[in-house]
Structure 1
Amino acid sequence: MIQLQGALYPWRFRLMLGLLALMVGAIAWRIIDLQVVNRNFLIGQGDARSLRRIPIPANRGLITDRNGEPLAVSTPVTTIWANAKELQTAKEKWSDLAAALGQNLHTLSERLETHANKEFIYLVRGLTPEHGQQALDLKIPGVYGIEEFRRFYPAGETTAHMVGFTDIDDHGREGVELAYDKLLAGVPGNRQVIKDRRGRLIKDIQITKNAKPGKRLVLSIDLRLQYLANRELRNAIIENGAKAGSLVIMDVKTGEILAMVNQPTYNPNNRRNLQPAMMRNRAMIDVFEPGSTMKAISMSAALETRRWKPSDKVEVYPGTLRLGKYIIHDASHSEGPVLDLTGILINSSNVGMSKVAFDIGGETIYHLAQKLGLGQPTGLDFPGERVGSLPKYRDWNKADTATLSYGYGLSVTAIQLAHAFCVLANNGKMAPLSLIYVDEAPKTTQVIQEDVARTMQSMLQQVIEAPRGVFRAQVPAYHMAGKSGTARKTLIGTKGYAENSYRSLFAGFGPMSDPRYTIVVVIDEPSKAGYFGGLVSAPVFSKVMSNTMRLMNITPDNLPSTQQIDDKLPAVTTKANGWRG
C-alpha cells in the first residue's frame, strides 16, 4: 500500500527532499558567510558584549602668574561609582563600604535601595587616590572607580576673584577658568578593555586615543603684589569698619593687570559655606560714580582745548554755586577766594571745576572720557564684567556739565578708572588692557596730547606733595601723583542718595621720574574714622605703592641730597684739631 502511494505521488517526495536540501544549503551558506565572508559581524557582536571603551580623563591646563607661580593646578582624584543592581547581592558588605567611604550606613543604604534598578550611580567623587583605593581594595561586587582630575588653587582666597574655579565636572564656572575654559580644557582619550557580563575588567587591550592636556595659561598678575594688595586692603576694611573694597595695580607701559583684589573674598578650595556676595569681583562688576577722581580727566580736557593753562585763575568764593534749584558745594574751605587750575585739584573744588567746565562745555569732557574707556567695554571679556555708563546729552545744560566735571552722573569700574589714569601716567598713550602676560611691548594709541599729559602729571604730583595736598598718599623716597575722591552712594531703585553712605577713592601713579605703576583703591562704606578718600583710601595707596617700589626694585627719585643730609647732621668737634663739621 505504501509503495503504491509513493508511486502514485513521487513529486511530493522529491519536493520534500528538495526543501530539505535547500535548508541545509542555506544554513551552510550562512555559516560560511558569518565565519569566512562576513566574519566582522560576529566579531562586532562579540565585542559589543565584552569590548568596552573607557575614557581617559584629560589634565586641565596649568594657570600661573607672570613669574611661573602656580595659581590653579589639576590633581588626580578617584571617583567611586556603583552598579546598584549588582550591589543588591552584597548587602552584608554595605557597612564596610560606608566605613571606607566615610558615609553614614543608613544614608548609603537608602540610596542603594532607592536606585536598586540602576546600573550606574555615583557613590562619592573627588577622593584622594589613596582613599579611593582603600574602597576598591574591599573587592565588593558592583563597586568601581574612575580616575579624574580636580582643581586645586595654591593661593586660595588671594586670587579667587581673578582665577575663579571649576565645577565638579572640571568645567570653568567663574573668573579666568570660565573665560578661557576652551583653552584650558583638555581633550579626553580612551582605551579598549574586555569586561565580563558583570562589568569586571578582564583585559586591558590598548589605548585607542591619547588624552590631550589643556594648554598652559600665564596671567599678567604678580603673585607677590597680589598678596601685598590683599593684605593691605583687608587691613583697611577692618580698620575703617568698611563693607567692602577693591584694589587694582596696573603696569602703565603694557596695560597688564599686576594685581586685582576684592574684599570680602572666599576660598575656592572649600566652597561649602560660600555666600554669593563673596564671589563678586567688585573691581570689574561694581560700578560707582568716580567723584573727584574725575577732575583729573576734566582738567585734561580743559588743557587740551588750549583755552586754559595751569596758572589761570578761577574765583571759588564763597565755596558755593547756585544753578537754578541746585547748589554746588565745595567739601572743604579752599586756601583763598581765587584758585589756579592746580589749586582747584589740590583743594578739590567743585565750584572751580564747574566754572572751567562751563567754559569748555560738557561735550568736550564727554569725548575725552569716552576715549579713555569710561562707559566702554574694556576688551578683557571677563565673565560678568560691566561697562558702566557715560551719559551724552543733546543739549548740555550747566547742571549736567558741572556734575560730569566733578564725577557725578556717570558710573565706572575700578578697572576702567585705573586704565584712564594709566593713560595720564604714560604721557597720554593708551595700551590695551590685559589679564594675560605680555611678552612684548603692545601697540599704544595717543589719546591725550603728550604735553597735556605731562602737565597733568606735574599738577597731580602737587595734589600729593603741596602743603594742602593729600599727604597721606606720599611714598617715602619717591615722587607720586594722584587724586582722591569721595562719592555718595545711590539708593537702589531710586534716583536719590543714601544718608551717610560713601565710597572712598584714590587713584595715583609713580614714580614721577618714569611712571611705571598705577594703583586705584576703592573702600565701600567706611564707618569709623571718616569717609573722605584722602583720609581712608590714600594711606592704602601709600602702603601698597611703597612695597610695590621695593618688590619691583624701582630706583628712588626723591632721596634727600648730600647737602641736605649734611645740614641735618649734628656738629662734631674733634679733640685733635678743634674742627667743627
Structure 2
Amino acid sequence: MDRIKIFQIIIFTAAIFIIARLFYWQFIAQVTSSGEINSAQIIPASRGEIFTNDDFPIVADQEAFLLYAKPHEITKDSQELAKVLAPSLISEKYATSGAAFLPDLQKQKEEEVKQLQTNIFAHLADKNLFWVQLARKLPKDIKEKIQTLDISGLGFEKDKKRFYPEASMAAHLLGFVGLNKFGDDTGYFGLEGYYDQRLKGQPGRLGRDRDPLGFPILVGRYRTVEPKKGDSLKLSIDRTMQFIVEQKLEQAVEKYGAKEGTVIISDPKTGQIMAMATYPNYNPNLYQEYDGSQYKNPAIANTYEPGSVFKLITMASALDMSLVDPNTRCDICSGPRQIAGYEISTWNKKYYPNSTMTEVIQHSDNVGISFVADKLGIDRFYEYILKFGFREKTGIDLQEEADGAIRNKKDWKGIDLVTSAFGQGIAVTPIQMVQAVQAIANRGVLISPKIVAKIIANSKEEIVKPGEKRQVISAKTAAQITEMMVNAVEKGEAKAFVPKGYKIAGKTGTAQIPLAGHYDPDKTIASFVGFAPANDPKFVMLVLFNQPSASIFGSETAAPTFFEIARELFNYLGISQAND
C-alpha cells in the first residue's frame, strides 16, 4: 500500500471519528441530559404541622403510597387486572360513608369503580408506556392488600397524605390539602390556603444517569437533592374552648332550627382568636365528598346585615364626639317617625318617651338610635364606620376573607343614615363585628385579629407580630358604652339567661334578610355579641344564627347560646364571680 492510500485511510478514519463525536455531543448527549433531567424522581417534602396552643398536632402528614405500573412488564390480562385493582382503590373513600347501607351511595360507588376500571385498563393496555401512575395517597393497608396479589409490573413509591386527627373540628378554620391542576399538593381555604407557601416545603429530587433510550445505567451516577420540610404553625386556638364551642353550637343549631350557626371567640387585648366554628361543618380528611360551597368559612367570607348590634357602633361614635352622653334624653321617642316616606318604628311597637341613651340601647330602640344618627350626620358617622374597620378586610390570616359591603358615602341619603344606624342596608362580616367590639372591650384600641401565634422553621420559633393597633374611640367612650351594654344584659330581653354573679357586656341583634329588593320578616340573622368580665374582659364572643326557625329573635336564640358557652368559659378559664 503506497503512502498516499495510507494517508487517505488515516484522514478518512479521523473524519469519521470527528463526525461521530459531533453527532454524539449534538444529539445523543442532549437526549441523555434531557432524559436525565426528566427522569429525576421527585422526593415529596413533608408539609409542616399545625398545632393548637397546647402543642396538640391538629394537622399533620401521614405516610401514604403512590401506586404505579410498568405496562410492558405486566403479564396479567389488563382487563382482569383493572377489575381487581379498582374496588381496592375506591374502597377507602367509602370506608366511613356507609355506602353498604345507603342505596344512593352504593350506586355512586359502583359507578366510580366502573369508571376507574376503564381508566386503569387504558393505562395498562398501552405497552408503549414505560411508567404510569395509577393512584396516589394510598394508606398502608391498601398497599399491602395489593402487594399480596403479587403482580409483576406494579410498584409503590412513598407519598404523603394530609391527616386531620380531630376530623371535622375547626374544619373551616383549617381548610384542606388537595391536588392542583399539575397534581401537586396545594392548600385550599383557611390556614392551609393562607400559609400554603410556608407549609408546603420544597420537594427533593433523585436523579440517575440514563442511556440515550431512557433506560437507567447500572453503574451510572446518582444525584440527590434532599427535600426541605415545610414550616409548622402554632395557633392561638385553644382546643378545649374549640371543643366547647363546637359542641354547644351544634346543639343550638339543631334546637333553634337554624340554617347555619357561627361562633367566634377572641382575646380583646391581643386580637388572637381562641375559637372559631361554623355548623354544619365538614371533614377535611374526606373533603371530596362535600359540596364546594361548604368549604368557605362564613365567619370571614360571608357578609350579613348586622341589625341592632350595630347600634353599639352608632352610639359609641356619638359618645366619642360628645354629641350625646349616657343620660341624654330622646325627645322624639314617643312614637314612630317618618323619613323620606319610610316609617321608622321599634321592633315590638312599644315606645319609650324621653328615654335616656342608656335606655335606648337597653330597649334596642330604632327611633332612639335614629335620634342619635341625626346628631351624627352622614359625614361623621361614615368616618367612624371606617375607623372601626367596616369597609376593609381585617387582615386575619385565613384565606377567602371578604371586606364587607358599605356603599360610597356620596350615594347615601338621609334614610340610609338612619337605617345604617340600626344595622340594616349595610353588610359586614362576622370577624369585622368581633374586631369592632374588641375595640370597645380594649379601652378603645382596635387590634386586627390573628390566628397564628408562632411559625416554627428549622426548629426555631418565629413570633408572629400582633395585628395592627389604632385608637378608634377614647377610653372614656369605651367605658361608657360598656356600662350601657352591661345594663342591656341585666335589664334587656335576654336577662333570664344571664349567668348569676357575672358582669357581662352585650347586645342582641335581629336583622331581616334582604330578598329580591325587600325584607322577609320571617327570615332573619339572629346574633349576640359581648364580652366578659365587663370590667376586665378575658374574651369577646359573637354568636350568629342564619334563619333560625324556632324564633326569629337574637334574644331568644343567639343570646341563650352566648350565655351557655360563657358559663363553660368562666369555669374553664377560672373566672370568679363578681363581688359587687
> What band does the TM-score fall into relative to the shorter chain?
0.7 to 0.9
Are 1:444 and 2:469 counterparts? yes
Q: Distance in 2 between matches of 1:442 and 1:285?
A: 19
Deviation at 1:20, TM superposition (A): 1.7
Pair 199,448 (structure 1): closer, same or farther in 2 beyond 3 Å: same
After superposition, where does 1:46-445 map in structure 2 within 5 Å? 53-87=40-74, 89-91=75-77, 95=81, 98=84, 102=88, 107=118, 110-112=121-123, 115-136=126-147, 140-168=151-179, 169-193=184-208, 206=222, 208-332=224-348, 334=350, 336-380=352-396, 382-394=398-410, 397-437=413-453, 444-445=469-470
What SS does the corresponding residue of 1:172 show, helix, strand or coil?
A: strand
Q: CA RMSD in A?
A: 3.3
Q: Distance in 1 between matches of 2:311 and 2:8?
A: 105
Q: Distance in 2 between matches of 1:308 and 1:282?
A: 35
Decide whether the 8 Å contact of 1:100 with 1:135 is kept in 2.
no
Are 1:511 and 2:507 counterparts? no
Aligned length: 539
Pair 355,395 (structure 1): closer, same or farther in 2 beyond 3 Å: farther
Q: Distance in 2 between matches of 1:73 and 1:204?
A: 37
What SS does the corresponding residue of 2:281 show, helix, strand or coil?
A: coil
TM-score normalised according to structure 2 size: 0.84
What SS does the corresponding residue of 2:40 show, helix, strand or coil?
A: strand
Are 1:23 and 2:12 counterparts? yes
Pair 532,26 (structure 1): closer, same or farther in 2 beyond 3 Å: same
- Report the counterpart of residue 9 of structure 1 in structure 2: none
Q: Distance in 2 between matches of 1:249 and 1:141?
A: 56
Deviation at 1:137, TM superposition (A): 6.3
User: Of 552, 555, 565, which residue of structure 2 is paired with 1:531?
Assistant: 552
TM-score normalised according to structure 1 size: 0.84
User: Of 477, 498, 501, which residue of structure 2 is paired with 1:477?
Assistant: 501
- Report the counterpart of residue 464 of structure 1 in structure 2: 489
Q: Distance in 2 between matches of 1:48 and 1:133?
A: 35
- Report the counterpart of residue 501 of structure 1 in structure 2: 523
Show CA shifts across 1:205-259 (max 9, x none).
Answer: 6552111000011222212211111111111111111111211111100011111
Deviation at 1:298, TM superposition (A): 0.6
Show CA shifts across 1:547-569 (max 9, x none).
Answer: 12222223x24257xxxxxxxxx
Q: Distance in 2 between matches of 1:233 and 1:336?
A: 35
Pair 14,183 (structure 1): closer, same or farther in 2 beyond 3 Å: same
Show CA shifts across 1:139-168 (max 9, x none).
Answer: 534322221111011122121111100114
Show CA shifts across 1:349-372 (max 9, x none).
Answer: 001110121122132222112111
Deviation at 1:16, TM superposition (A): 3.2
Deviation at 1:317, TM superposition (A): 4.6
What SS does the corresponding residue of 2:169 show, helix, strand or coil?
A: helix
Gaps of 5+ in 2: 90-112, 455-462
Decide whether the 8 Å contact of 1:80 with 1:124 is kept in 2.
yes
Q: Distance in 2 between matches of 1:43 and 1:189?
A: 25
Of 16-25 and 429-438, deviating more is 16-25
Q: Distance in 2 between matches of 1:46 and 1:360?
A: 77
Of 471-480 and 142-151, deviating more is 471-480
User: Of 499, 517, 521, which residue of structure 1 is paired with 2:543?
Assistant: 521
Are 1:558 and 2:578 counterparts? yes
Deviation at 1:481, TM superposition (A): 0.3
Decide whether the 8 Å contact of 1:334 with 1:347 is kept in 2.
no
Decide whether the 8 Å contact of 2:267 with 2:273 is kept in 1.
yes
Of 198-207 and 222-231, deviating more is 198-207
Which amino acid counterpart does residue 374 of structure 1 have in structure 2? F
Decide whether the 8 Å contact of 2:347 with 2:365 is kept in 1.
yes
State which structure, 1 or 2, has the greater radius of gyration over its C-alpha atoms: 1
Q: Distance in 1 between matches of 2:127 and 2:334?
A: 84
Tell me: higher relative CO, structure 1 or 2? Use CA pairs within 8 A at least 6 residues apart. 2
Pair 280,443 (structure 1): closer, same or farther in 2 beyond 3 Å: closer
Which amino acid counterpart does residue 506 of structure 2 have in structure 1? G
Deviation at 1:437, TM superposition (A): 1.4
Gaps of 5+ in 1: 1-11, 561-581
Q: Distance in 1 between matches of 2:419 and 2:187?
A: 41
Pair 505,203 (structure 1): closer, same or farther in 2 beyond 3 Å: farther
Pair 91,47 (structure 1): closer, same or farther in 2 beyond 3 Å: farther
What SS does the corresponding residue of 1:231 show, helix, strand or coil?
A: helix
